[in-house]
Amino acid sequence: MTNLKDKWEAAFAQFPHKDDILKDIRQEALRFFASNGFPHKKIEAWKYTSLEGVQATDYTLWQPTHAKKTLAAEALHPYRIEGSHLLVFVNGFFSSEMSDAAVADFTVTPLLEALHKGGADFVGRYFNAATEKGDVFTALNTAYAAEGVYIEVPKGKVVEKPIQLLYLSDVGTPTCFQPRNIISVGERAELKVIEMHHNLSQAQVLTNAVTEVFVAKEAHLDYYKLQNDVLQASLIDNTYISQEGQSHASVHTFSFGGTLTRNNLNFYHHGEYLESTLKGLSILEGQQHTDHYTLVNHAHPNCESHQDYKSIVDGEATNVFNGKIMVEQIAQKTNAYQQNDNILLSEKATVYTKPQLEIFADDVKCSHGCTVGSLSPDSLFYLQTRGIGKKEAAALLTYAFANTVLESVKIPALSDYINKIIAEKLDVKVDF
């Protein structure tokens, strides 16, 4: 077995960080990765997800010294969400030529340019999820982050069209990418973001993504993660969202493709009267494995959070939900809800679900629950007696089960796009 940990540690010697403003931060992050190594199943947070397949693949860490690559415009068409501002990344590099973001409502700056321009104060404020969060893959990303963007929405601005972050990879050998984005939504500003990753090659690709989002007072953020990649692709995604008072932030995660997908979604509250919404839908088949790990840290009074995750699992696929709501002692009048529902379409399909509450306040409303089951035979029979084929009837019931997640998507073009994917996944010609 390839010793991937040692290979990635050694690669740091060739990383061009001599005059880098992040030099000390990178070295600290690499030491954290070196001392902890890859997570394993004896660690509670990774109990149901094995990384043996990742460690057995000889991934090369993508370096900023590699040549940039351009793709034909036709490569974008299958993944373009109509009516969006498009930001394209090819093999880890931001492509201004293929992007469409020249508008006055927000600014887009390449990551390293923004960090060097902003200086130590900017780095301390926005590039701070390295080791204090205790995540090995975030530390690895911090050590090697070279490409990504800083998106800033000024105070009071409403960005009418969503921003689509489209990551395309086209490599000849197994490669691990380390995209890093920072998003700042100013006071009373509004922003919608769509994030997608697609491997266009036959090579194995691992994407280790980190996104830090800062939502200021009274701001609104709607973030959509659409994961429908090929089976040669795996994704480890760490998203950290910091909210200030009276803000609203929602994240919808749609996991349909890829071999291994791990979503770490973390919300941190920094004010009162704010609202956090986390919704997810997984439709898996074959031997796909998806793991949703969520944290909502209620650290101030009078705040709300809502979690609703659903999975539809077929074949020998596995879906994991491990969600935690933490209510600190000061966070009185918290209202927190968490629910995970699952449907198994095969005897060999597997679901692990672990909703958790840690409550240190006494004046709160908190609930959590989970269900695991199969499609109702009585409902299937009823639909068939109305002239609907068995496959179509199963698809309609499945769609109805997932609709509590789908109905809150606020971008019509994205909703249509997802509905087509669901029809393909369920192998029916039904216009949902």
pLDDT along the chain (432 residues), means of 10: 84 77 89 93 93 94 67 87 93 87 83 90 79 81 90 96 95 92 97 97 94 97 97 96 97 96 97 97 96 97 97 96 95 96 94 94 92 83 79 80 89 94 79 63
248-255 vs 220-227, strand pairing mode = parallel
0.85 exceeded by pTM: yes
Q: Using the 3D structure, point to which of 221, 242, 271 is the last residue of a domain.
A: 271
260-270 vs 289-298, strand pairing mode = parallel
Are 253 and 398 found together in one domain?
Answer: no
Q: Using the 3D structure, point to which of 271, 286, 301 is the last residue of a domain.
A: 271
Q: For residue 349, is it within any domain?
A: no
Q: For residue 388, is it within any domain?
A: yes
3-state secondary structure of 205: strand
Q: How many domains does the chain divide into?
A: 2
Are 97 and 232 found together in one domain?
Answer: yes
The CA R_g of the chain, rounded to the nearest whole Å, is 21
How far is Cα of residue 431 from the mean position of the Cα atoms in its chain? 27
Q: Which residues contact 343 (CB under 8 A, 6 or more apart)?
A: 310, 311, 312, 313, 373, 374, 375, 398, 401
Q: Which residues contact 344 (CB under 8 A, 6 or more apart)?
A: 313, 351, 372, 373, 374
Q: For residue 363, is it within any domain?
A: no
Q: For residue 368, is it within any domain?
A: no
Residue 431 CB neighbours (<10 A): 7
3-state secondary structure of 3: coil
Q: For residue 303, is it within any domain?
A: no
Report pLDDT for 1. 47
Q: For residue 304, is it within any domain?
A: no
Q: For residue 369, is it within any domain?
A: no
What's the rounded Cα separation, in Å, for the pair 65 and 86? 25
| φ/ψ bin of 276: left (φ > 0), alpha (ψ from -120 to 50), beta (otherwise) | beta
Are 266 and 383 found together in one domain?
Answer: no
Residue 163 structure tokens: 């921003």
Residue-number span of the structural domain to which 420 is assigned: 379-431
Report pLDDT for 131. 47
**What is the distance between the terminal CA atoms of the chain, rounded to a whole angstrom?**
46
Q: Using the 3D structure, point to which of 271, 304, 322 is the last residue of a domain.
A: 271
Residue 3 structure tokens: 């010793």
Are 59 and 194 found together in one domain?
Answer: yes
Q: For residue 355, is it within any domain?
A: no
Q: Which residues of 84-112 are buried (b: 16+ CB within 10 A; e: fewer)?
A: bbbbbbbbbbbbeebbebeeebbebbbbb
